[in-house]
Amino acid sequence: MAQLDIFRLDGRVAVVAGGGGAIGSALAEALAGVGARVVAAGRSRESCDATIELVRAAGSEGLAITADMTSEDDCDRMVRETLERFGQVDILVNAVGGGAGKVLHPAESYPRSDWDWIMELNVRSTILPGQAVARAMIERGHGGRILNLSSVRANLGINSGYSAYVAAKGAISSLTRQWATEWAKYGIHVNAIMPTFVDTPQVATLLADPAFKAGIVNRIPLGRVGETADLVGPAIFLCSDAASFVTGQILGIDGGLTATQ
């Protein structure tokens, strides 16, 4: 159907920061499936190579880049190598982050070392690739799409020691709106997806606790935790021309969780 063509990404180049992770890999494969050439960048070359195999199996071209998204030099090099290979960058998906549940402390005594780690893992790893890719988009003059990964915890507190994590995800949501406002004049659309718990290896130990999982599921109207596949449709939408008048938005993907709060 012609109407579905607006979701296609043929001729575009997408960089997935954190492309070797469970969410990044799923989104990279999905973007390739609708025509994008994909760069998977992350600390683990082996994981990024595995993602690029999925990209190629989906019928597209790919490039794996070993890079640390908390390093300004690495992010600049990631963009440079992308331009050398493909000549352009049209989409950035910021899929680095996490740490939920790994460093829980009372708010009144949250240690700086753990706070800084969560901020580095989530906020700095979003800011640096975002800036590097935006500079390339601005210089080229053709606009682009930036998709950040927030969390329902940006909007919802929890009585379990999550001070740093909720602050980090709140910062990403606010940064998304700020970038969208500043970069609109360059034709750069900036949005975020805001999932609840997604079943990935990163949270496997949490979800393995029956009581913890039941507590999560019981609060979600659709009665289950999220899966990486649940993020695919929203990501394609926000990275495509179907979202040509959408920017600065934080799209909840939470089975109705935030609607109940």
Q: Which residues are catalytic?
A: 165
CA distance 57 to 52: 8
Element (H, E) at 99: none
Secondary structure letter of residue 259 according to DSSP:
G
Residue 258 makes CB contacts below 8 A (sequence gap 6+) with 152, 155, 156, 252
Return the amino acid letter for 75: C
Phi-psi bin for 256: left (phi > 0), alpha (psi -120 to 50), beta? Answer: left
CA distance 31 to 68: 22
Return the amino acid letter for 151: S
CA distance 24 to 173: 18
Identify any residues that bridge with 41 across adjacent strands, giving them in sequence order. Answer: 17, 65
φ, ψ at 100 (rounded to 5°): -60, 125
C-alpha to C-alpha distances, 81 to 108, 133, 144, 229, nearest whole angstrom: 44, 12, 18, 29
Helix (H, G, I), strand (E, B) or coil at 44: coil
